[in-house]
Amino acid sequence: MPNPDHPPSSAERSGGSDFHIEFEGRAVRARHGDTVASALIAAGVQVLSRSLKFHRPRSVFCLSGSCGSCLMRIDGQPNTRSCQVKAEPGLRCERQNAWPSADYDLLSAADAMFPLGMDHHTMFTSPRPLNRLMQKVVHQLGGLGRLPEVDAELASAASVVCQHVAVLVIGGGPAGLAAATEAATALGQTGRVLLLESQHSVGGSYLCHPELGRDRAHAALQLAQEAGVEILTGTAAFGFYREERHAAQPGAELGFVAAASDQVLYKLSADRYVYATGGAAQNLLFIDNDRPGVMSGRAVGRLLACHGIRVGEMPLVVGCDPFADELVSALRRSGQTVIHIDGTREKLTRALGGSWVEGAEVCDERGVHRTVRCDLIVIATPPAAASELLVQHGVTVELRQPGGFVGVADAQGQTNVPTVFVCGEVSGAMTAQDAADHGARVGLSAAQDRISEQARDAAARNIGQDQE
Amino acid sequence: MSEKCIVCPCEDVTLADVEQAIGLGYLDIDEVKRFTGLGTGSCQGKLCMVTTCQLLQTAQAADPQRVQRQPEAQRVPHPFTPRPPVVPVPLGVLAAGKGADRER
Amino acid sequence: MSARERMPASAAQLATEAETVIIGGGIMGLGIAYELGKRGRSDIHVIEQEYLTSGASGRNGGGVRMQWSTELNIRLMQESIEICRNFASELGINVWLRQGGYLFLIRSQQELSRLEQTVALQNRCGVPTRILTPQEALRVVPELNPSGFVAACYNPRDGVVFPWPFLWGYAHAASELGVHIHTYTKVTAIEVRGPHSFVVTTSKGTIRCERVINCAGAWSPAIAKLVGVELPNHPHRHEILATESLKPFLNPLVSVLSSGLYFSQSMRGEIVGGITVPDVDDGTVRLGSRLRFLEDMSAELLSVMPCLSSVRVLRQWAGPYDVSPDGLPILGEPDGIPGFYLVCGFVGHGFMMAPVIARHYAELLCGGARHPVFDRCRLSRFQDGSTEKEVMIIG
């Protein structure tokens, strides 16, 4: 039975507490630099949310704002990704979509009622009175968070910024930071380089490396700043709009990137676009793969690197790439007893436990199953390319394993759209160091491509003037 | 918790749901998205689309007649249309754009 | 085996000959196929260029209403909503009809006096529409901005459906009756051999038939051109957004006729809505998304319901309206091509009208009663000038 005061999911961290946030009426310790999610994990809170239909317990999975497992009501705002909200003294947070509480949610009866999944197409279609009743029940139980507490300020407070720059870099991870640095160095005073980062701080996958992560992120940021890169953090590019123009856009070209922060709507165009959007953590297919305590490798790495939080004593790590190996070593050095399987020869088939992982079933090549005891399951397989913006921009993508739908590009990172470049994980699965090297190459070639185009245009203008 | 292998955690779509759609002959990601509802929740497919496309790749390979049956279907795996906004954006921020600095 | 397990994705082969070829696997085409099949005329091949729900049928907001300005439309929609109410039990698939009403907000006294007449007409037809004061409207939707309107029209029996399952329901039932449905198949040519004699060429082969029914929606002018018919309808992009999911709080669909705004809360809790945004309208079907739509939609939505300001948009998409010049559909055979049937020009309300139109079309084709809609909506009305505009059109 889950007991919020004595959680079996032992999360430990070094250092003292700085302040408290308010979690469903009780005070939870938090440290500066915490997000709501990290503070709650550190406090041993197991269930952060209940799933939409089956009310299955959920906790953090990606910890980077891409999945929907940690949605909570925070400061009166429903459906807020708790991993993306900075913890602040007195911040109110509560769980949603549960009755009477997220720890004991009677609505999770839906999970048992539909053991294979909910056939929402054919369930209770007749007789008519039963169908009507079912629809009423579904309607009343539907939806996630309650309406927000009124915040009429936002509409009037938000503003619009339109800008055109020489190089727009989207994504502030290893690849994006390196690309922006190289581009800004090459362009010097001849053109602006603007970098967008959706999270509150740059670093991307650097920050998931338990030991060196923060130092590397800091170093890369410093280089970018020295090179003159303009950086907008907490600003997420959310679309490339091919048919429209903004007020500050030169020439006749159509298309711009739209981005948003809490208060500002940006419309940004560029001579060259460099997409370094990285990837989204992916889960594997096994029974009860959504159980709290199943986390992505990057989430576990980030908790350790950025928040000093060590979750559990006996993690089971799945994955065989260099990141998985590094993570296993780091977790062992932190004092944990790690079970490591590669995920190919030996596969994870089931997560055991209640409202938190208590074990796992794995299966080897011969089909022999064994049960292991563990208090955390770490999915440390490569993420899938975050290529949504690329597709909107008209760039060809192809499905790779691993890698997901990656942007197709030549060695310089140039895509089928002449002004668009890609680097890092959005162009293929790679380590953070390789992404940084790739980003540097691609950033330089994007800048050079822009410089040589301007030289050609200038020459053409001169010839034109001579002929007149 | 009853045993489930979840493909789309946002919409609680299970592997059994996806396999059922595939069994009905829905072999394109656009069809499976609509029939099961996967990818329409709060993460808009960031966690489930690639996994589903891989399942579909296997299913398509096992059905060579599909080419004759559906001549206009895409032969290579493709993502479903990545609808903007790629990340959730508040109505209040978007509303600021109305009339401001508009061209076109 | 559940009904769902027997639903067909696409038939194996195109026959060389059939009684009827239906072009377009949207709700109109599939609905007519089902209704014909039910009347024993199932020698039908339905040709869909993409997948079921790929066109406007899969991209609309799901509104179904009886509030119209012409008696014809009011009567048709009363019948259509009755079909929707029985759809789940008749066709074995849930369509999630929720009759939470339609609340039209009225922004000026002029608009109000115009709508008073249409409300009177609706009442004469048995539709319980009422004109509400702002205070009364606030009792229906307390979150409305009271300063944004002078009155409202409210019919509690209007509603919203989830559009997609209609197609699977009709497709499945039609297949069981012997209809063949071909997805991802394009029509490339139609040869008119004579009255009631056609050869339809598709990317899956050719088929001879006695009857071609053009249910291609926004693509219907292009299909009509294949037999030399110029239609006056044209495609128009209509965009919609959906927000994150909220617990149910909004009962009716709310609409502002003067701006073309409408929004409702789906069974899944999302606020789903659209608004009129001008476009190029050069005959091309455009389905790209525009930021301008998000901006216009958000601003208008927040002017009506300011408490949604911090609610996030999850996605936007576009669907093709099939716009006829007078807002009424185009039905029946064009002069000189017996056996070629039109079912197009439904603007933005084809989906809600499809169940009733499909039923009456099948009746007509089987030699049954000829519903007045077929005379009212014949193509030749644009030549002889006997048009009567429907004014209660959103978007």
CB–CB contact A65 B76 (8 Å): no
Cis ω for the linkage preceding B85 (within 30 of 0): yes
Q: Which residues in chain B touch residue A114, judged by CB atoms under 8 angstroms apart?
A: 2
Query: C279: nearest CA in chain B?
Result: B104
Residues across chain C? 395
Closest to A361 in 3D by CA, of A373, A353, A349, A377: A349
pLDDT for res A73: 97
Report the residue from B10, B13, B92 with minimal CB separation from A154: B92
Residues of C in Cβ contact (< 8 Å) with B68: 12-13, 204
Closest-CA distance, A119 to chain C, in angstroms, reads 8
Provide the pLDDT for residue A390.
98
Chain A residues near residue C94 by CB distance under 8 angstroms: 120-125, 131, 135
pLDDT at B99: 73
At A20, the pLDDT band (50, 70, 90 cuts) reads very high
Q: Looking at this predicted complex, what is its ipTM?
A: 0.96
Interface of B with A in 18-57 (CB under 8 A): 20, 37, 41-43, 46-47, 49-51, 53-54, 57
Q: Are C141 and C253 in contact (CB under 8 A)?
A: no
B54–C contact, CB cutoff 8 A: no
Question: How far away is chain A from the Cα of C302, in angstroms, using its nearest Cα?
Answer: 8
C309: enclosing H helix or E strand: none
Q: What is the pLDDT of residue A9?
A: 44
User: Which residues in A lie closer than 8 A to residue B95 (C-beta atoms)?
Assistant: 155, 158
User: What tokens were used for A178?
Assistant: 């390196």
The amino acid that residue A44 corresponds to is G
For residue A5, the model assigns a pLDDT of 36
Of A78, A155, A262, A386, the residue nearest B86 (C-alpha): A386
- Closest B-chain CA to C2: B20
By the 10 Å C-beta count (0-12 exposed, 13-18 middle, 19+ buried), A346 is classed as middle
The answer to whether the CB of A442 falls within 8 A of the CB of A421 is: yes
Q: Which pLDDT value is given to residue A152?
A: 55
Single-letter residue type at A423: C
Task: Calculate how close chain A gets to B18, using CA atoms only, in Å.
Answer: 10
Centre a 10 Å sphere on the Cβ of residue C278 and count the other Cβ atoms it contains: 9
**pLDDT for C311:** 96
Amino acid C6: pLDDT: 45
Please, which residues 203-262 of chain C have a Cβ atom closer than 8 Å to chain B?
203-204, 243-245
Angle at A306 between CA A303 and CA A310, to 5 degrees: 35
pLDDT digits (tens, 9 = 90+) for B19-78: 999 998 999 999 999 999 999 999 999 999 999 999 999 999 999 999 999 999 999 999
pLDDT beneath 50, residues of chain C: 1-6
Q: Given this model, what pLDDT does residue A468 score?
A: 54
- At A418-468, the pLDDT tens digits run 999 999 999 999 999 999 999 999 999 999 999 999 999 999 988 877 665
**Closest chain B residue to the Cα of A249, Cα to Cα:** B103
List pLDDT tens digits, range A200-246.
999 999 999 988 889 999 999 999 999 999 999 999 999 999 999 99
Q: Determine the Cα angle at B2 with ends A293 and A313, to 5°.
A: 20
**Do C50 and B42 lie within an 8 Å CB cutoff?**
no
Per-residue pLDDT, A211: 83
pLDDT digits (tens, 9 = 90+) for A370-423: 999 999 999 999 999 999 999 999 999 999 999 999 999 999 999 999 999 999
A-C C-beta contacts closer than 8 Å: 116
Alpha carbon of residue C93 to chain centroid:
19
Tokens of C328: 């009424």
Distance between CA atoms of residues C119 and A127, nearest Å: 34
Query: How many interface pairs between A and B have CB atoms less than 8 angstroms apart?
Result: 193
Q: How far is B69 from chain A (nearest CA, A)?
A: 24
CB contact residues (below 8 A), chain C span 276-335, against chain B: 289, 291-292, 294-299, 301-302, 308-317
Q: Among residues 70-89 of chain B, which lie with CB inside 8 Å of chain C?
A: 70-73, 81, 83-85, 88-89
Question: Quick check: C201 contacting B, CB < 8 Å?
Answer: no
Closest partner residue to C164 among B34, B81, B96, by Cβ?
B34
Q: Which single residue is written with the structure tokens 């259509």?
A: C80
C227 near C356, Cβ under 8 Å? no
C246 interface with A at CB cutoff 8 Å: yes
C contact residues 1-60, partner B, Cβ 8 Å cutoff: 4-5, 7-13, 49-54, 58
A contacts of C248 (beta carbons < 8 Å) = 139-140, 142-143
For residue C68, CA distances in Å to A293, C108, C115, C197, C257 come to: 55, 19, 10, 38, 12
Res A8: pLDDT: 37
Contacts of C7 in chain B (CB under 8 A): 24
Nearest CB neighbour to C58, from listed B34, B41, B90: B34
Q: CA angle at residue B44 from C314 to A286, to 5 degrees?
A: 150
Query: pLDDT tier at A119 (50, 70, 90 boundaries)?
Result: confident
Distance CA C340, CA C193 (A): 12
* Residues on chain B touching C263 (C-beta within 8 angstroms): none
Measured CA to CA, the distance from residue C147 to residue C71 in angstroms comes to 32
- The answer, yes or no, to whether the previous bond of C156 is cis (omega within 30 of 0) is no
Chain A residue numbers touching C245 (CB-CB < 8 A) = 52, 79, 142-145
Half-sphere exposure of A402 (CA within 13 A, CB side): 20
> HSE (CB half, 13 Å, CA atoms) of C92?
14
Sole residue written with tokens 């056939």:
A119
pLDDT in tens, C157-185: 999 999 999 999 999 999 999 999 999 99
Q: What six digits make up the tokens of C362?
A: 């099948």
| Nearest one of C238, C252, C43 to C129, comparing CA atoms | C252
In chain B, residues with a C-beta closer than 8 Å to the C-beta of A280 are 43, 46-47
Averaged pLDDT, B77-99: 95
Contact A52 B77 (CB under 8 A): no
| pTM to 2 decimal places | 0.95
| Residue labelled with tokens 């509690």 | C156
- Which phi-psi region, left, alpha or beta, contains residue A301 (left: φ > 0; alpha: ψ -120 to 50)? alpha
Using the beta-carbon criterion (under 8 Å), do A79 and C312 form an inter-chain contact? yes
Structural contact between residues B96 and C316, judged by C-beta atoms closer than 8 angstroms: no
Taking the CB of residue B16, how many other CB atoms lie within 10 A of it?
15
Across the range A152-175, mean pLDDT stands at: 88
> In DSSP terms, which residues pair with C343 in a beta bridge?
C331
CA atoms within 13 A on the CB side of C94: 21
